[in-house]
Structure 1
Amino acid sequence: MKTQQVKIHFLGAAGTVTGSKFLLETGAGNILIDCGMFQGLKELRLLNWKPFPFPPKEIDLIVLTHGHLDHTGFLPRLSREGYKGKITGTAPTLAIAKVILQDSAQIQEEEAKQANEDDTGTHHPSLPLYTVRDAEATIKNFQPVEPGQWHIFNESIKYRFQTNGHIIGSSFIELEIFGKIFLFSGDVGRENDTLLEPPKKPEWADYLFLESTYGNRLHPPEETDSILIKTIQEILEKKGNLIIPSFAVERMQTLMVRLWKLYKAGKIPPIPVFVDSPMGNNVLAVFQNFSSWHKLSLQEFIEMQKHFRIITSYKDTWNTIDDPRSKVVIAGSGMVTGGRILTYLRYLIEDDKNIIMLAGFQAEGTRGRQLLEGAHEIKIFGKFCAVKAKILHIQNLSAHADQGELLEWISQLKNIPEQVFLIHGEETARDALRVKIKDLYKWKVQLPALNEVVTIQLTTSEQEN
């Protein structure tokens, strides 16, 4: 028998929902699971600028659960700091990551330029976290892999992606290291998603790393379509607008499909619906290119897009704001942190005829969270705007499993995990899930802290090495 050591570095999404990064340091190789950017609170965003706590050149492989910014957005910075290896994920995941990284890099450059022009930056000169060139160099290292198949890294390590229904291409990851299964849930999706098939359920995990975004909540049994119908009727009566801040990936496409189906069924009138998100437009192309990964046929997806007015220029954003008709506007970003939605809210949030519909999780430190908690004003482009529009929160469109769905997702495990680590959740959420798992399953549950390193000793036979 031989003892092998695995060190787990919790470099992000530990006590928070952003910045997912989990490094497995082993004698057979060092593997990074996800490489996300910190978002939300300033104290978290500043972490993006700190030197990476592990030498990037000593990382041998990066595997991605899905393409969201908080799981991929730090990749170009890591590449700039020295990582030159392979970055793997499913084909749709890498297609989404490409769109997101190109957009993020452009924003980084634009914000740095603006800060220098306005002399508002903390540093002189202000620099981007990374550039478009950095993003393009990173994307060259993308290598897609098929889900459901074991991929051999070396004689001691292999890995497999299994679809988990969060966004197109998303997966949970099983790593077999020295004969033990380290399972990373990624973000687990919903059982009855509008666009995606239900998440596959894992069957074995010696060490389970489980997301806990909604670990303390159950999604309400609300009827999303009924809320959309009622809200559209209300803005038509008020002669107002429905403004929906939306994530560009999955949420925007889900809203489009739901509104299209309601219109086809005669449940809402032919109200103009504008979709304003350059990134969202690029994501539509990903959905079209990977039609086997979602429930709509290619023909249905093409027909659906024709129902919407897709905005491609900033000039058309202003034309839409000036359009006096009642309308629906879906614009990025989902937590109101940036993007085209800010331009709409700057001019429409102070009118009580309008309705703002928040459609998903709102992290700490975001304008979306402020609106959700009843802020009477929010700051947009340096100006405080009074919140006079009605604020709605529609929770059942979330792409994250709630507490009950997470407990159901792990219910098919045939073994008792040696250790469960709750990640990707705020403290109250993951502690509530910890209590539930301990009460229901009697498993050992740990709440790792940011930058904590946990060492696991594995006893293996000589033949396994």
Structure 2
Amino acid sequence: MKIKFIGGAGTVTGSKTLVETNGIRILIDCGLFQGLKALRELNWQPLPVLPSTIDYVLLTHGHLDHCGWLPRLVEQGFKGKIFCTRPTKEIAKLILLDSAKIQEEEAAKANREHYSKHKEAQPLYTVTQAEKVFPLFRVIKPNEDVSLDAEISAVFTNAGHIIGACSIALEAEGKTLVFSGDIGRDDDVLMYPPVKPKKADYIFLESTYGKRLHADTDVKLELEVFINNAIAKGGTVLIPGFAVERAQSIMFILWQLKKEGRIPDVPYILDTPMGANVLNIFTENTEWHKLTTYECNEMIRMFSIVSRFEDTLAVIENPKPKVVIAASGMATGGRLLTYFEHCIGKPETTVIFTGYQAEGTRGRKLLEGDKEIKIYGRYYSVKANILEIQGLSAHGDQQDLLNWLSDLQNKPQKVFLVHGENEPADEMRIKITEHYGFDCCVPLMGTEIEI
């Protein structure tokens, strides 16, 4: 059996792991690279194997860094099946359409304003190409065997993280390979704790927060203080929101604070068309999260949902204090950049980051103190107050990841740490080795191994 680390190795984006067994090729996730330009440029490169020779894609969840390269895969000849849970299918469809739309718009803007280095900027893929992915989705139920071949099967189990997210146990050649996907937190606001694996011969474990312990702080109190201080200054609060799950978690906490009279009566706005659609997925799949249908509906009523771009501009032009949740969560694209263009240079603006910021993203640069950011070819001075709440990340921290391994009834032959930058991944390797005595390594991108 051969395993090739095509993406998501040494970085937290572009997740792709190729498994070759018994003449079958299986791709675990098919994500987009984000952040550093050197990584983004990899999105334009062909895979090391022809997409037409891949039989299956097993999708752990619907975030862009796990599903965002599917349109390229299909465009280049993939005709197999894409297995995932129902919420993952619905979220992936939203994310792919949103990604394609943004890429088309940014290419058109670059050509119109002549800031592309290319003679003519092209989108990585179009909306039409994204839509060609959808007929290939096959919905599976968690905890049930999915037969891929006479001797190959897979079982999806809840991973927390976002709605529909799963870890995948792949049985092949008498071995059990467990791919964690992104592991959620044991004490998440909305998601149930991840299901721990009982048996694994080989584990492919994410290590996003392999070096970090989430701050033991009162997230609700932090958000209350930040918002009250910002509104007292008469400014706009911008919360970059990952449209799936983090936006809903923030909405839930704001709803609680408002009910308790702890934050002011100002407009609360959700300005991410995709995030608004995700709310429907939450109400239709209540078995995947802790909220009741009633709580979902009550929470939604508190927010003005913005979908049209003209309405975004109207929100920006209104000088009154307000709280806006806008995508994207790492400030790499989406409506948030329009708010940044108008508000990042105002000292009364407050920006509150609530999730992981990959290296090279605007979010990471702002948190590291950059005083100037580039948006659509132009530079903007940063005078806004930049804040961070760490306790709202959708990723498990170092302790959560260690705990995820705690129910194993056998000692795995090897643990591969993926989906993490090199330093956190290596720190996680040391912790796992010390704690469990497992053989553990951090594979380089492009590495192929035989097991």
Which TM-score bucket, shorter chain as reference? over 0.9
Matching of residues 338-357 of structure 1 within 5 Å: 338-357=333-352
Q: Does 1:260 align with 2:255?
A: yes
Distance change in 2, residues 1:391/1:288 (3 Å):
same
The more displaced of 418-427 and 281-290 is: 281-290
Q: Does 1:171 align with 2:151?
A: no
TM (normalized to structure 2)?
0.98
SS at 1:175 equivalent: strand
Q: Does 1:287 align with 2:282?
A: yes
Q: Does 1:403 align with 2:398?
A: yes
Q: Does 1:269 align with 2:234?
A: no
Q: Does 1:249 align with 2:244?
A: yes
SS at 2:423 equivalent: helix
SS at 2:396 equivalent: coil
Q: Please give the per-residue CA displacement for 1:394-423, whole angstroms capped at 9, x wherever unaligned.
A: 011000000011001111111111011000
RMSD between superposed Cα atoms in Å: 1.2
Matching of residues 127-138 of structure 1 within 5 Å: 127-138=122-133
Rg comparison, structure with higher value? 1
Q: Please give the per-residue CA displacement for 1:89-116, whole angstroms capped at 9, x wherever unaligned.
A: 0000011000011111122222233333
List runs of 5+ in structure 1 lacking aligned partners.
1-5, 457-465
* 2:48 aligns with one of 33, 50, 53: 53
CA contact (8 A) 2:102 2:334 kept: no
Matching of residues 97-246 of structure 1 within 5 Å: 97-246=92-241
Q: Tell me, in whole angstroms, the C-alpha distance in 2 between the residues paired with 1:123 and 1:229.
A: 46
SS at 1:43 equivalent: helix
Q: Does 1:308 align with 2:276?
A: no
SS at 1:396 equivalent: helix
Q: Please give the per-residue CA displacement for 1:50-89, whole angstroms capped at 9, x wherever unaligned.
A: 1111111111111100000000000010001110111010
Q: Tell me, in whole angstroms, the C-alpha distance in 1 between the residues paired with 2:85 and 2:312.
A: 34
CA contact (8 A) 1:337 1:366 kept: yes
Q: Please give the per-residue CA displacement for 1:343-395, whole angstroms capped at 9, x wherever unaligned.
A: 11222122222211011111111110111101112122333222211111101
Report what 1:90 is aligned to.
Answer: 85
Report what 1:461 is aligned to.
Answer: none
The more displaced of 46-55 and 311-320 is: 311-320
Deviation at 1:271, TM superposition (A): 2.2
Distance change in 2, residues 1:447/1:264 (3 Å):
same
Q: Tell me, in whole angstroms, the C-alpha distance in 1 between the residues paired with 2:105 and 2:114.
A: 14
SS at 1:425 equivalent: coil
CA contact (8 A) 2:344 2:383 kept: yes
CA contact (8 A) 1:28 1:156 kept: no
SS at 1:365 equivalent: coil
Q: Tell me, in whole angstroms, the C-alpha distance in 1 between the residues paired with 2:46 and 2:23.
A: 25
Q: Tell me, in whole angstroms, the C-alpha distance in 2 between the residues paired with 1:11 and 1:394.
A: 32
CA contact (8 A) 1:181 1:204 kept: yes
Q: Tell me, in whole angstroms, the C-alpha distance in 1 between the residues paired with 2:146 and 2:361.
A: 39
CA contact (8 A) 2:161 2:395 kept: yes
List runs of 5+ in structure 2 lacking aligned partners.
none
TM (normalized to structure 1)?
0.95
SS at 2:133 equivalent: helix
Q: Does 1:365 align with 2:351?
A: no
Q: Which aligned runs of 4 or more in structure 1 are off by greater than 6 angstroms?
A: none
CA contact (8 A) 1:28 1:157 kept: no
Deviation at 1:28, TM superposition (A): 4.2
CA contact (8 A) 1:33 1:65 kept: yes
CA contact (8 A) 2:208 2:395 kept: yes
Q: Tell me, in whole angstroms, the C-alpha distance in 2 between the residues paired with 1:96 and 1:435.
A: 35
SS at 1:270 equivalent: coil
Deviation at 1:244, TM superposition (A): 0.7
Q: Tell me, in whole angstroms, the C-alpha distance in 1 between the residues paired with 2:348 and 2:122.
A: 41
SS at 1:450 equivalent: coil
Report what 1:331 is aligned to.
Answer: 326
Counterpart residue type for residue 113 of structure 1 = A
Q: Tell me, in whole angstroms, the C-alpha distance in 2 between the residues paired with 1:376 and 1:211.
A: 32
Counterpart residue type for residue 149 of structure 2 = N
Q: Tell me, in whole angstroms, the C-alpha distance in 1 between the residues paired with 2:97 and 2:238.
A: 26
Counterpart residue type for residue 192 of structure 1 = D
Q: Does 1:430 align with 2:422?
A: no
CA contact (8 A) 1:7 1:453 kept: yes
Q: Tell me, in whole angstroms, the C-alpha distance in 1 between the residues paired with 2:99 and 2:80.
A: 21
Q: Tell me, in whole angstroms, the C-alpha distance in 1 between the residues paired with 2:230 and 2:17.
A: 45
Q: Tell me, in whole angstroms, the C-alpha distance in 2 between the residues paired with 1:276 and 1:318.
A: 11
Distance change in 2, residues 1:165/1:123 (3 Å):
same
Distance change in 2, residues 1:56/1:381 (3 Å):
closer
Report what 2:64 is aligned to.
Answer: 69
* 2:30 aligns with one of 28, 35, 40: 35
SS at 1:14 equivalent: coil
Report what 1:388 is aligned to.
Answer: 383
SS at 1:87 equivalent: strand
SS at 1:140 equivalent: helix
Q: Tell me, in whole angstroms, the C-alpha distance in 1 between the residues paired with 2:120 and 2:328.
A: 27
CA contact (8 A) 2:354 2:388 kept: yes
Deviation at 1:124, TM superposition (A): 3.5
SS at 1:368 equivalent: helix
Q: Tell me, in whole angstroms, the C-alpha distance in 2 between the residues paired with 1:117 and 1:52.
A: 31
